[in-house]
Chain A
């Protein structure tokens, strides 16, 4: 089954404690991306990657890091989480075809105390 998986699905942490949210896709997609969803703001792109070792900032990259060492994996790293990073996070992937639909993971709900 074609899918994008994220772990963990729910996470409660404290300010300053480094955490990683994993994302993996089994569709051999070149393009992967991270979004955060906040009330009244919709989905905002954090970082994206067009292929292995190629990453770039999205609209709200501050406080986040990513890496793309393998095609299937695109982890999101919060080196020093802060309460304003409390949000719902989605990973997505797609092929590199104009307008090809993005497939989203189920989401990770993060609470930073």
Chain B
């Protein structure tokens, strides 16, 4: 039972354009959401997060949007750069054990020069 789903295994965009990565979840108890980025031969690194009390969080070129009623979140990267090419994982946590994360399958983003 995949509680966090990223339905697009891959996404390709042109440099300078917007990248939109999507994530859906089924567990209504999730109240904290994170995005991680992973380069080949490295471990995932934290990118941006959002609490369920917000619907938007912005950090430079990265913005995460949360739609609780739809159980959907998205990561926007504007403008996209070739160095953004990586696998992006959506993750969620619930309750007081904030460190226990449930991950999605990942989306491979390729930004073409």
Contacts and interface: CB of A to CB of B under 8 A. Distances in A.
A51 B69 CA distance: 35
A90 B89 contact: no
A95 B7 CA distance: 31
Interface in A12-59: 31, 33, 35, 40-45, 48, 50, 58-59
A107 B38 CA distance: 11
Interface string A83-110: 0000000101010111111111111000
B100 A48 contact: yes
B98 A42 contact: no
Given A101-B49, A107-B42, A33 B105 contact: no
A102 B101 contact: yes
B4 to A, nearest CB: 8
A28 to B, nearest CB: 15
Nearest to B44: A104
A90 B44 CA distance: 9
Contacts of A40: 9, 105
A4 interface: yes
Interface residues of A, number: 29
Contacts of A45: 100-102
Interface in B75-113: 89, 91, 93, 96-106
Interface of A: 4, 31, 33, 35, 40-45, 48, 50, 58-59, 90, 92, 94, 96-107
18 contacts: A33-B99, A33-B100, A35-B103, A41-B105, A42-B6, A42-B104, A42-B105, A44-B103, A45-B101, A50-B97, A92-B43, A99-B34, A99-B51, A101-B49, A102-B46, A104-B44, A106-B42, A107-B43
